[in-house]
Structure 1
């Protein structure tokens, strides 16, 4: 996987387009980001990341449209504004996690439904096991306009690969756009399964969870094939290129 700015721009723009294709978008809201390579002799405080300009639908985003923002909230490259809550959430993660090069945040129906459940994500299916003890929970504090919330977001996420934002939605992190996108895809799918199981429970009886030892075993098995996310990402890019390659512009 390449790590230069043009390639990261194309991958992040592709993530926006794919999210729209999969129905994850929320009009102008929610946001994805990717950290840019750190300049020689630069410190972590000098990090910059790409994020979408506020006002564009996900299916409109092109590589050249993405803004470069620093950790102080200054737009380093680009002439548009960004979503303020998006800056709070994404800067919090990029500041705290050296391995979190890409951060995705969504407001999908199944994600918000599970985020409203007291027990959070349940172990109902093999897909859910990827997230066994790997999802943090962040309490709702209102719209994320307050930069002080960054510290609490960081604590809630910890070393996990994903976060349930109570009464809000989902967040995933990854070393690459491919990683973060695959994590979000399957986290959202696990939430879809949980929502469907809850709907069926009234006629089919209580749902049953996978025993903890089997969830742990399956989680370890799935971690051993995480390299396949890169193969999946290339397949998604080919699909997107067949539909509309303009995200690359």
Structure 2
């Protein structure tokens, strides 16, 4: 009941798969550390480089229990690829992720959460407003998808793909937030920016005072400015090593 059966996969999978497992497990732990997890629900998925295989959390584990070895390897249809895997996945939870991975081969990682802040902002007609620097990053690549109930219908996948297009941020109406990234670090930093943007917006609106909106021309130029700040690298590439160190300090067992 309390023991998680997790034989170590270190040295038994490719170097690229193991590194992806370590980074993805770290991402799960970071989400838990920030208080963004939702019991055993929501998901972060990552494609193993140069393959059509994906990693996702085992259904029934809390995010602070995720390790590199207990992530589950699946195909695009959610079939488990390791015959000796002792875990299952939530098929309904992978519906959104499979839709994105099918359409966006540039995105290695898809991060979907149910934070109060993203649900709240996704549930108002105006959506995310240009009220903070965090919002600038999200609004530069923002999309929306209307709520259709629990994501279990295959028909919804085409509509979600069309709504997402080439964007890296999505607010799912009445549901939560989703971010994509070329790396796991990018997807995490995108979610960090989106969550902070929603938090700040709610705090500003709670004052009852008239907010100052940033001009659209500044929003349109934010990507170019970010490239200058990061010297051509992405925000995830710059911050991810520090995030990994943070998780190692908290509990190095995530990388087992």
Whether these two folds match at TM > 0.5 is yes
Once the two structures are TM-superposed, the CA of residue 219 in structure 1 deviates from its matched residue by 3.8
Q: Within 2, Cα distance between the matches of 1:38 and 1:214?
A: 37
Partner residue, 2:103: 96
Partner residue, 2:216: 212
Partner residue, 1:74: 79
Post-superposition CA distance 1:67-88 (Å, at most 9, x none): 1111122111223221222210
1:1-249 equivalent positions in 2, closer than 5 A = 4-39=16-51, 47-77=52-82, 78-201=85-208, 205-224=209-228, 225=230, 226-249=233-256
Gapped regions of structure 1 (runs ≥ 5): 40-46
Once the two structures are TM-superposed, the CA of residue 133 in structure 1 deviates from its matched residue by 4.0
Alignment check: 8 A CA contact 1:131 1:219 kept: no
Post-superposition CA distance 1:73-107 (Å, at most 9, x none): 21112232212222101111111011111000000
Alignment check: 8 A CA contact 1:130 1:223 kept: no
- State the secondary structure of the residue aligned to 2:134: helix
Query: What's the RMSD between the two structures over aligned residues?
Result: 1.5
So what's the TM-score if we normalise by structure 1?
0.91
Partner residue, 1:44: none
Post-superposition CA distance 1:116-156 (Å, at most 9, x none): 01111100011211122411100100000112211111111
More displaced stretch, 7-16 vs 232-241: 232-241
Q: How many residues align?
A: 238
Once the two structures are TM-superposed, the CA of residue 23 in structure 1 deviates from its matched residue by 0.5
> Cα 1:219–1:142, aligned 2, differ >3 Å: closer, same or farther?
same
Alignment check: 8 A CA contact 2:56 2:73 kept: yes
More displaced stretch, 126-135 vs 225-234: 225-234
Q: Within 1, Cα distance between the matches of 2:95 and 2:235?
A: 31
Q: Within 2, Cα distance between the matches of 1:239 and 1:166?
A: 32
So what's the TM-score if we normalise by structure 2?
0.89
Post-superposition CA distance 1:152-184 (Å, at most 9, x none): 111111100111100000000001101100111
- The structure 1 segments of at least 4 consecutive aligned residues displaced by more than 2 Å after TM superposition are 217-220, 223-229
Alignment check: 8 A CA contact 2:189 2:235 kept: no
Q: Within 1, Cα distance between the matches of 2:203 and 2:223?
A: 22
Alignment check: 8 A CA contact 2:140 2:219 kept: no
